[in-house]
Amino acid sequence: MPHIQSPTAPRLHSAGGAFVFLATVSALVLMSRTPGYPVLPYVAALVFGGALTSLLLWRPAKLTGFAIIAVAAIGHGIALFGHTVFEDDFYRFIWDGWRLLETGTPYGIPPEDFVNNPSVPPAMRDILEWINYPYYPTIYGPALQVIFAITTFFAGADELGLRAVFAIAALVLTALLLRKYSADRVAMFAWNPLVVVESTLHLHPDIFLGFAVLAAVLAGKKHPVMAGVMLGLAACVKLVALAAWPLLLRLKPTALIAAIAVVAALYGVFAIQGLGVGLDSTQTFATQWYFNPFAYEPLFHTLGPTWGRLSTLAIAASIVVWLHARSRSFDDVPLAAIFGVILIFAPAVNAWYLLWLLPLALGRAQAWPYVASAVLPLSYLTGLNLEDFSLEEFQVHPLAQYAQWGAIAAAILYDMWRSKQARDANRQRTVHKTAVENPRISVVIPALNEEASVGATVRGIRGVGLRGLHEVLVADNGSTDQTAAQAAAAGARVVVQKDRGYGAACLCAIAALDPQTNIVLFMDADLSDVPEEAGALTAPIIAGEADLVIGSRTLGAIELGAMSAPQRFGNWLAPTLVKLIWGVRYTDLGPFRAIRRDALNRLAMTDRDFGWTIEMQVRAAKQQMRIAERPARYRKRVGISKISGTVKGVFAAGWKILFVIAREAFGDFDRPRQSESTSSSKAPDQRRSSSQPAV
């Protein structure tokens, strides 16, 4: 008998999540005010409270936006009465704010230079005594410095001012999340004890980075300039935000311009004063700091600190670029995973870094962000905090470190398994497609000065008895010879596209297709393709087994001299890049191919020259179409190739293919293009003589 969940269960889950969240925050605040700071109970409460809250809220709960904000506000309000334990960064924030108000810049001069300076007021002298690493100038970005200055202006040296500002930032971020996600999903962030602890209680400004990146995502395609401004501000909070900047390539150019302008303006205001912008201290942090690492640890011991850092940087950067590239659209980019990769490979990993990615993790039902938020507080169990003199001052206890990374690794493997299960189930649901019971095939043959071969090509494809052949279209691409006349004489319908370009000719023919056409077969006019093999390309589509079928010359037979060495190299490189980025294996970019008409429409093709074939294959891969390859023979062409026949053609084609791959990797595929491609074909001139009926 199937289990039927009680309708009261979601309410119990939400009420239990709220109770555990508030109880955890209250317990932590009480312990923070206890003399001696009970380290183990404090960390245990944070770990178990975070884990239990996430478990209770994992299943959909009956919640409203008002309830989310109200409970979160109570939690942050309680945290206002706490004391900051284990952390002393906030002294630097207050100091930087004072220096900015007094001198116009907090950069360039280390705090220790002010120890005997009589101009420092008494309240700031007390702050100065507690600043960590006082021999280094500040590292914090200009956007944070403005926030610090405003807070110091109103609250002076009182840390309560910072608590209030950070709490407000977290609550506003929660309100923004409610604009994008359901209330039960937002609770996973807003009621996470780590969020309150690391923002309002421990006073880490990383909440502003999460806020700025999320605001950019919300602005998105409707407000590209605002998206650029917010990602620019995010980079002015912490430079790690640059990992999200490839998002801007999916928007209008004004988005990237706005982001660069914001960074230039905020950094420029301080740079012109001649004391730097904190990059010297940032370099010190990046090259020397080492704390609670994961993937960096084995590379550090194997390659040493310098090569270990360079190796992890290269690996992390490659994965970040790959995650951006393989995403189909602006809204599909997994920013939480991108920042997660940075944490996995970083030489220093702190619990508050999760404030970057937790707001971005709500759109995907993955466990690893919440497991990480529950276990990363174990990093507070250091030799200093435990007063364990067998450990170095900032060394995390080995058991705590193993527990952190073991739990996170297990959660990542679990999410990967669930993702594979979902893909397999989706594949099974979509494998049965309707066969094309009444195939009507239109053959598209782009041609430019092919009078010696186009007639034989048309007669060849008309004479092979191709099942469902409906018409043959020759797209004359501005020929100066008798190409159009020869094609018409052979029985083709000729359309004219005077603008040169292989893709332009194909787009022209597509715009002229008979409305009843349901399969389109593309082939060249130079007799290099073998018409007798057309049936092998269309058969899988007619049977409902594929949406796109490529005639693979690599799997077939290439006549000696039919392909040049640069063509063969490009034919290996481009499919390899497609496989690396989108996980779809092609063996060829051959022009001989067949595709369902509805699938072709979904691809919204736009390329007007050498990038046509790779654009079709990449977009088919991104749309997860059913793709097949069939062996195809390839003969020496009649006449001189427009590509391999000239050095200019070889380089132009190679560059364009790589450009299209890059454009599709970082471009927003969901942007409407069909109308653009249709209008750009410029109303083809269709010619059909009375002796040229459709086949």
What pLDDT shows up at residue 236? 98
Q: Is the pLDDT of residue 275 over 50?
A: yes
Instruction: pLDDT band for 617, please (50, 70, 90 cuts).
Output: very high
Give this prediction's pTM. Answer: 0.86
Residue 59: predicted pLDDT: 81
Looking at the DSSP bridge assignments, the partners of residue 476 are 447, 496
- 673: confidence class by pLDDT, cuts 50, 70, 90: very low
Q: Are strands 469-476 and 627-631 parallel, antiparallel or unpaired?
A: unpaired
- Tell me, letter by letter, the H, E, C secondary structure of 196-236: HHHHHHCCCCHHHHHHHHHHHHHHCCCCHHHHHHHHHHHHH
How confident is the model at residue 426, as a pLDDT? 72
Dihedral sign, CA of 546, 549, 554, 560? positive
Tokens for 420? 């594979």
What value, to the nearest 5°, has the Cα angle with vertex 200 and ends 199 and 204? 35
Residue 355, helix vs strand vs coil: helix
Mean per-residue pLDDT over the chain, rounded: 90
For residue 29, is pLDDT > 70? yes
Question: For position 537, what pLDDT does the model report?
Answer: 97
What pLDDT, on the 0 to 100 scale, is given for residue 624? 87
Asked whether the beta carbons of 646 and 306 are under 8 A apart, the reply is no
pLDDT, position 61: 72
- Nearest by Cα to 69 from 164, 163, 177: 177
The pLDDT value recorded for residue 689 is: 34
Q: In 431-525, which residue ranges form alpha helices assigned H by DSSP?
A: 454-462, 483-489, 502-511
Q: pLDDT tens digit string along 96-107?
A: 999 999 999 999
- pLDDT, one tens digit per residue, over 90-149 is 999 999 999 999 999 999 999 999 999 999 999 999 999 999 999 999 999 999 999 999
**Contact, 195 vs 166, CB < 8 A?**
no
Q: How many beta carbons lie within 10 A of that of residue 304, not counting itself? A: 11
| Mean pLDDT for the stretch of residues 397-413 | 96
Classify 290 as helix, strand or coil. Answer: coil
pLDDT for 684 beyond 60: no
Residue 683's pLDDT band, with cuts at 50, 70 and 90, is very low
Phi, psi of 67 (to 5 degrees): -65, -40
Question: Looking at the predicted structure, is the pLDDT value of residue 342 above 90?
Answer: yes
pLDDT higher than 70, residue 669: no
Bridge partners of residue 472, in order along the sequence: 443
Does residue 692 have a pLDDT over 80? no
User: For residue 674, is pLDDT > 60?
Assistant: no
Which is higher by pLDDT, 204 or 7?
Answer: 204
Distances (CA, A) of 509 to 76, 408, 491, 550, 677: 63, 53, 16, 19, 12
53-89 per-position pLDDT tens digit: 999 999 877 789 999 999 999 999 999 999 998 889 9
pLDDT at residue 13, as a whole number: 77
**Tens of pLDDT, residues 541-551:** 999 999 999 99
pLDDT at 570: 84
Q: Angle CA(284)–CA(288)–CA(289) in degrees, nearest 5?
A: 100
Angle at 178 between CA 172 and CA 182, to 5 degrees: 155
| pLDDT(648) > 80 | no
What confidence score (pLDDT) does residue 642 get? 56
- Give tens-digit pLDDT for 217-271: 999 989 999 999 999 999 999 999 999 999 999 999 999 999 999 999 999 999 9
Reply yes or no on whether the pLDDT at 637 is more than 80. no
**Quick one: pLDDT at residue 566?**
80
Q: Does residue 9 carry a pLDDT above 70?
A: no
pLDDT over threshold 50, residue 484: yes
Q: Write 256-262 long-range contacts (CB < 8 A, 24+).
A: 256/228, 257/228, 258/224, 258/225, 258/226, 258/227, 258/228, 258/229, 258/232, 259/228, 259/229, 259/231, 259/232, 259/235, 260/232, 261/232, 262/228, 262/229, 262/232, 262/233, 262/235, 262/236
Please, are residues 524 and 446 in contact by the beta-carbon 8 Å criterion? yes
> Sorting pLDDT into bands at 50, 70 and 90, what band is 639?
low
Tokens standing for residue 574: 């481009």
